[in-house]
Amino acid sequence: MVHLFVLFCLWRLAGVFADTVTMKSVSVTERDSVTLDSGLTEIIDDDLILWRFGSENTLIAQINVIADSMTVYDDVLDERFRNRLKMDDQTGSLTITDTRTTDSGLYQLHTSSVRKCFNLTVNARLPVPIISSNSLSSSRSSKCEHLNITDLCQKCADLHRYCCDTFEAVIRLVVTALVGVAAAAAAVLLINDVRSTRGSGSIGKTDLKT
C-alpha cells in the first residue's frame, strides 16, 4: 500500500513538472540580437536560474540568488559565445548578440518553478549583389551603342541637306518659271509693238496715195 502511495505521489509530481515545460521556436537573421524570454517578472530570493545549450546540456549562464552571483560561461564550447551572452538580473532572460548560424540549437531554462525550451534557428543573410565598375562601363557602352550621338547628328545633317537641296530645287523651278513667264510677256509685248509699228506705216502710205 505504501509503495502504491509513493508511486502515486511521483506520478502527480511528474505531472506537475510536465505542465511547466514549454517549447518555443525562435527564428532570427544572422548578426541580429535575440532575447530568450524567461517569462519571469521577478526572481525569487532562493531561486537558481540555469541556461543550458545543445544536446549535451552545456551550462552557458546562471544566476544564483542565494550566492548573489550571476555568471556567464562564454569560454565553453570552444568560446563560441565569448562576449555575446547577456543575462537580465531582474528576469533571468538570456540575450545573444551578434548571432551566428552556429548558435542554432536547443536552449533550456531551468528554475525552481519553471522549465522552458527554446528551439533557436539563425538564418544566414543573403549575399548582397556586387556591381563592379566593369559592369557599369559595359552597361553605359550598350546604352551609347543604342543612342550613338554621331549617328544621330549624321542623320540630322543628311536630313538638313536633303531639305535644303529640295528647297533650292523648288526655288530654281520657281525662278525658271518666272523667267519663262517674263520672257513670254516680253515676246508678246515685242510682237504687239511690231504690229503696232506696221499698222502705223500702212496708214501713212494710204494717206500718201490719196
Q: What is the pLDDT of residues 68-106, one digit of tens each?
A: 899 999 889 999 999 999 999 889 999 999 999 999 999
**Assessment of whether the complete model's pTM goes beyond 0.75:** no
Residue 135 has pLDDT above 60, yes or no: no
Place of cell 506537475: 16
pLDDT of 185 reads: 72
Residue 120 has pLDDT above 90, yes or no: yes
Across the range 145-158, mean pLDDT stands at: 56
pLDDT of 158 reads: 64
Sequence-separated (6 or more) residues with CB below 8 Å from residue 118: 23, 24, 25, 26, 36, 106, 107, 108, 109
Q: Which of 5-9, 22-26, 78-82, 197-201 has the lowest mean pLDDT?
A: 5-9
Strand partners, 122: 28
pLDDT of 201 reads: 56
Fold exhibited by the domain 17-123: Immunoglobulin-like (2.60.40)
Which has the higher per-residue pLDDT, 121 or 139?
121
Mapped to the 3 state alphabet, what secondary structure does the chain carry?
A: CHHHHHHHHHHHHHHHHHHHEEEEEEEEECCCCEEECCCCCCCCCCCEEEEEECCCCEEEEEEECCCCEEEECCCHHHHCCCCCEEECCCCCCEEECCCCHHHCEEEEEECCCCEEEEEEEEECCCCCCCCCHHHHHHHHHHHHHHCCHHHHHHHHHHHHHHHHHHHHHHHHHHHHHHHHHHHHHHHHHHHHHHHHHHHHHHHHHHHHHC
Which has the higher per-residue pLDDT, 156 or 69?
69
